[in-house]
Amino acid sequence: MHVYVTLWKVGEFWDYNEANTEQTGYNTNSQGNENTFKYCANPNASTFYGEITATATIGGLSGWTAGPVYSSMKVSLLCGT
């Protein structure tokens, strides 16, 4: 299974892609992600949300795709980028 995670920052006119990661795992029950992050550049308030897409190979056939799925909540942090 491949999991693709994108961290987005909400902008005034469009949203900004802040970080991308791809993880490969072989556990068919779950796949976590602890590696998608962005360091703060200043203490300005920013709002973030995530996007995830997953692809899997099942029975030797690839192309099973889920997503994209977006965060159910947007989070405001004192973290300008």
Could you list the pLDDT tens digit for every one of the 81 residues in the chain? 788 999 999 999 999 999 999 888 776 566 667 788 889 999 999 999 999 998 887 777 777 788 899 999 999 999 988
Measured CA to CA in angstroms, residue 67 lies from 1, 3, 51, 55, 62 at distances of 13, 10, 8, 9, 15
Q: For position 70, what pLDDT does the model report? A: 93
Q: For position 49, what pLDDT does the model report? A: 96
* Whole-number Å distance between alpha carbons of 49 and 66: 18
Q: For position 28, what pLDDT does the model report? A: 59
* Whole-number Å distance between alpha carbons of 52 and 55: 10
Q: For position 58, what pLDDT does the model report? A: 77
